Amino acid sequence: MKKRASGILLHITSLPSKFGSGDLGPSACKFADFLNKAGQSYWQMLPLNPPADAHSPYSPLSAFAANPLLISPRLLYQQGLLTQKEIQDPPAFPKDRLHYRTVLPYKTNLLNIAYERFKSAPADSHFEKFCLDNADWLEDFALFAALRSRFKTAFWPEWPAPFNDKNKITQKSLTPKIRDSIKNQKFLQYQFFKQFFALKRHCSRLHIKIIGDIPIYVSFESADVWANPHLFKLSKSKKPRFISGVPPDSFSKKGQLWATPVYDWPTLKKTGYSWWLRRIKHNLTLFDVIRIDHFRGLVAYWQVPAGRKTAAKGRWIRAPKDDFFRKLFKLLPSCPLIVEDLGFITPAVKKLIEKYRLPGMRLLLCGFGDDMADNVHALPNSSILGLFLPATE
């Protein structure tokens, strides 16, 4: 990150595709080719995690799993998992936007067809190796996703016993249908990672580095909270006691209420932050550089009592930033991080950024106005190691 370079932010879903949503197929490689010809060095993406609600990857179903919507039907066809007839006449999707309500059932049907064909084929040793290598997160996610499909809801506290408590589930409690659904979920993750790493290798050949994005929080209706409720501030009935957000500011008089559960940092500290460290290591297998969304929440976070209608009645809670980052950089001394340092940034956040010389962000759009002489977003005033220009989809 010390070498001057530029790149473009474009999420996978925004790539052109006749299948209704951009995916990891030929259009992704063509975009990488375009970046190379344009003299660009970075491709920044939004989070690739499966969204829990409102189709936002910043409230994901999993901190580790990926969104099956991004799997390319054309690449599945090239593997022999779909036929030409099955992909040649997709619905007339809008060309200027992603219409989830029509795209999701169409692509889900194609993925189900591919899975059935995969099951009837000879055993795939690469699939078995993928499942074994990623068992630390894949087992929990695949089971959670299968149960979510079985009970038609991700609100896991309302699942019948024993499924609302991961530690009480036994192999005997899993029906053949649930077992098959678990394998289906593993298949989807295998196909995503197989296609993504092929794209990453293509980018590497072109000297294009990929910047990934880590949402700081996960949805309450996620595999992570279901499998690790002790890592979050939950009640005895395993529902959020506090939820995330930011306080009122010049952009919003009521603040922002994100509704995701907040972390129980004392418990995370007792575990050596193993969940967070595994999460960052996992992302570094996918990306060359990772951006942490709402970085200041790792220094101090705004928590709001669950049930509040706005974020106004919350309070700041400190996180064990020094201990956490000391352990992170001991494990990963050259961890390539970009921090999202927008909004009201306190001296404590600035001190941490300076201590580890972390690249931040400047928005040129916000740099114009009567205060240009003192505005940190104005280009002449920017003294950060990295400069990133956000783009809309």
Q: Has residue 390 got a pLDDT over 50?
A: no
Give phi and psi for 215, each to the nearest 5: -65, 135
The mean pLDDT of 5-24, rounded to a whole number, is 95
Place of tokens 């990963």: 332
What does the pLDDT read at residue 284?
Answer: 97
What does the pLDDT read at residue 361?
Answer: 78
What does the pLDDT read at residue 343?
Answer: 67
The mean pLDDT of 31-57, rounded to a whole number, is 94
Residues 203-225 as b or e (16 or more Cβ within 10 Å = b): beebebbbbbbbbbbbbbbbbbb
Q: Has residue 294 got a pLDDT over 50?
A: yes
> How far is Cα of residue 282 from the mean position of the Cα atoms in its chain?
11
Give phi and psi for 330, each to the nearest 5: -75, -40
In 10 A of CB 26, how many CB atoms? 15
How far is CA 94 from each of CA 19, 46, 67, 75, 239, rounded to the nearest angstrom? 10, 21, 21, 22, 39
The mean pLDDT of 289-312, rounded to a whole number, is 95
CA distance linking residue 193 with residue 116, whole number of Å: 19
State pLDDT tens for residues 215-274. 999 999 999 999 999 999 999 999 999 999 999 987 788 999 998 999 999 999 999 999
What does the pLDDT read at residue 375?
Answer: 73
What does the pLDDT read at residue 386?
Answer: 44
User: Does residue 340 or residue 279 have the better pLDDT?
Assistant: 279
What does the pLDDT read at residue 392?
Answer: 37
Q: 263 pairs with which residues across the strands?
A: 232
CA distance linking residue 208 with residue 312, whole number of Å: 43
> How far is Cα of residue 197 from the mean position of the Cα atoms in its chain?
16
What does the pLDDT read at residue 86?
Answer: 97
Q: Which of 41-45, 123-127, 356-360 has the lowest mean pLDDT?
A: 356-360
Rg (CA), the chain: 22
Helices (H) and strands (E) in the chain, counts: 12, 9
Q: Report the share of the chain in percent with pLDDT over 70.
A: 95
Q: Report the share of the chain in percent with pLDDT over 90.
A: 81
Q: Has residue 381 got a pLDDT over 70?
A: no
Helices 135-151 + 176-205 axis angle, to 10 = 130
What does the pLDDT read at residue 56?
Answer: 87
**Statement: the pTM of the whole predicted model exceeds 0.75:** yes
Q: Has residue 16 got a pLDDT over 60?
A: yes
Residue-range domains of the chain with CATH: 1-7+22-219 (3.20.20.80)
What does the pLDDT read at residue 33?
Answer: 98
284 token code pair: 């570094």
Q: Would you place residue 391 in the very low, low, confident or very high pLDDT band (cuts 50, 70, 90)?
A: very low
Q: Would you place residue 189 in the very low, low, confident or very high pLDDT band (cuts 50, 70, 90)?
A: very high
Q: Has residue 186 got a pLDDT over 50?
A: yes
Closest listed residue to residue 19, CA positions, set 79, 81, 108: 108
Burial environment of residue 238 by CB neighbours within 10 A (0 to 12, 13 to 18, 19 or more): middle
Q: Mean pLDDT in the chain?
A: 92
State pLDDT tens for residues 88-122. 999 999 888 889 999 999 999 999 999 999 999 99
Q: Has residue 31 got a pLDDT over 50?
A: yes
Q: Would you place residue 207 in the very low, low, confident or very high pLDDT band (cuts 50, 70, 90)?
A: very high
